[in-house]
Amino acid sequence: MTEPEMITGGEAVYRVLRDQGVGTVFGLLGGSMLELYDALYQGGDVAYVGARDERAAGHMADAYARMTGGPGVVLGAQAGPGVVNLATAVAEAHLAYSPLVVIAGAISRSDLGKDTFQEIDQVALFAPICKRSILVTDPLRLPDMLRDAIRLSMSGRRGPVVLHVPRDLFAAEIPSPAPGPVSIAGPGRPAPGDIAEMVSLLTRSKAPVIVAGGGFKWDEGSRILCDLAEILDIPVVASTGHADVMPHGHRLFAGQAGARGNAVASGLTRDADLLLVLGARLAFNSTFLSHDYVSASARIIQVDIEASAIGRYFPVALGVQAGARETVQALLDTIKDTNGITANARDWVRKFRADRAALNTERDAEAEIDTVPMHPRRALAEIRATLPEDAVVTLDTGNACLQAADRLAHYRNPGLVAPLDFGLVGFGYAAALGVQAAAPERPVVSIMGDGGFGFTLSEITTAVRYGLPVVAIVLDNGAWGAEKAYQKEFFGGRLLGAEIESPAYEEVARLCGALGFSVEKPGDLGPILKEALAAKRPAVIQVKIDPTALNALRKDLFKPTKPATS
Ligand SMILES: Cc1ncc(C[n+]2csc(CCOP(=O)(O)OP(=O)(O)O)c2C)c(N)n1
Ligand SMILES: [Mg+2]
């Protein structure tokens, strides 16, 4: 038997990532894993994108994971502060079920537990916000524990895993790891009896709707979702943040339900007598967890990869632990020759089509709003009309982005990357850089508020350095608009901390080596966006939008207070 090749821990980590097919890793340089950096440098086949803030690097890797199916890898290269900076990104990935793998530098084993320079309890810090937060203590186990971290992040309901690696392990000599990617079990299939029960419930329903969510984004599932909707001839509602699960304009696509969605889609989930819920959770953002949004008498078929998600918020008539794709496939196999199983639902579908057509007309009219400063909906209409079909859009949290979530046109899945349930500001631009690294051939546009963009302004230099031609559209209303709306509506207009000033981003962008544009007039955004996309260079478009065009999203949060006296 030949002796195994001995390599450093850093080299071993690099080889595991390479063999997994990871194309790009993200990070910010720190002293805890220089052997890994050196292995990446020398290997040359796993690209590295260095961010200006670890949080941004984490969002990039998260978005990369959502585009590729994972894993997205971020290096927390500096034990302590560098790793702690990743907490926000890990929490975001956790609530988005995104397979993010964090390789986090840690204090050398000989110094652990001594309150050494930059030492904090990283393992405990991350434990509640990821699938597993674990310390590697033996260099021989480093490759296997990394492979296990990848497996865990990618299997079942996906999510982030944080592997803390004491810095001395990267320098330790260990045998080269077994080659090849890790084995990951696919989701389960529904039992034939479950499919029969689904068909029987669908046949009896007068008002059925499919609710589809993230389960279809992992599986590139638009095509089979369309097939299912068409063969059943019933409408599809997307859960929040997943308006790309079906192509825009499909005759059976209602768009998103919930506060970020539209009244037609919300009306479908509220009035349906049967919800076929596939790879979606019926969670807060889509339903407020309230029977105001899902009829108490509706029958619910819920299919989820995670057993504990089934029936969690609403009681189910039929719960099936299985993959969304596997279930749709099984349904298609069963009903392919059976016409008219939803014949009872014809009136319901006719009404939906009429309602959706009326909504489309309303949305089209938004393209005509010609007030100055520009109404955000006018800006969104221009973006919708201009983006090419293969574009990917990333969003942020905030008033303008909430309105964007259901107003854009997506034709290719995944085509929308949004902050989802963590609802954090400062995600979108960094996420767009991760998307672009994952999909260099696709046009990538980040839509953000002025507040949100300020969080990650310095990443323009990252886009320039790594040649990531993202176009950032900053909808500038001079405010933390979503919060200002609450102070206006519920606190008598007493504004504190609500208003902000931003520099001329077109100049900032140019100083950073990117293209910069500023737009004030309705009608100008479309052509400028076109020009920016054609340039295939990083670009920032600052759009002055109407600071009064705000709406308070969650009216359930506050009771009205006395109006201001002045
Ligand atoms: C990290 C973080 N900080 C604060 C908030 C609270 N918050 C929610 S929306 C919002 C306003 C965002 O402002 P901007 O990006 O300008 O978008 P706008 O609402 O003005 O469209 C804030 C501060 C948050 N969700 N996340
Ligand atoms: Mg704003």
195 Cα distance to chain centroid? 30
| Ligand 2 mean position, distance from CA 449 (Å) | 5
Query: Mean pLDDT, to the nearest integer, of 296-308?
Result: 96
Query: Mean pLDDT, to the nearest integer, of 300-315?
Result: 96
Cα-based distances in Å from 188 to 147, 236, 317, 387, 448: 22, 23, 20, 37, 38
Query: Mean pLDDT, to the nearest integer, of 1-10?
Result: 90
pTM of the entire structure? 0.96
SS3 of residue 559 by DSSP = coil
Question: Which residue has its alpha carbon closest to ligand 1 atom 23?
Answer: 480
For the record, the structure tokens of 380 come out as 């969104």
| Ligand 2 mean position, distance from CA 171 (Å) | 47
pLDDT digits (tens, 9 = 90+) for 524-558: 999 999 999 999 999 999 999 999 999 776 666 66
What pLDDT is attached to residue 72? 98
pLDDT digits (tens, 9 = 90+) for 363-385: 999 999 999 999 999 999 999 99
Minimum-distance ligand to the CA of 398?
1
Mean pLDDT of the chain: 94
Tell me which residues have their CB closer than 6 angstroms to ligand 1.
Answer: 396-400, 423-426, 449-452, 477, 479-483
| Ligand 1 mean position, distance from CA 483 (Å) | 7
SS3 of residue 160 by DSSP = coil
Q: Rounded to whole angstroms, how far apart are CA atoms 241 and 243? A: 6
For the record, the structure tokens of 176 come out as 């080269």
What pLDDT is attached to residue 339? 66
Lowest pLDDT segment from 5-19, 136-150, 251-265 = 251-265
Looking from the CA of residue 476, the nearest atom of ligand 1 is 16
347 Cα distance to chain centroid? 35
The three-state (H, E, C) secondary structure of 511-533, written as one string: HCCCEEEEECCCCCHHHHHHHHH
pLDDT digits (tens, 9 = 90+) for 163-208: 999 999 999 999 999 999 999 988 999 999 999 999 999 999 999 9
Q: Rounded to whole angstroms, how far apart are CA atoms 213 and 216? A: 6
Torsion angles phi and psi, residue 302, rounded to 5:
-120, 125
What pLDDT is attached to residue 1? 65
| Ligand 1 mean position, distance from CA 455 (Å) | 10
302 Cα distance to chain centroid? 22
The answer to whether the CB of 60 falls within 8 A of the CB of 430 is yes
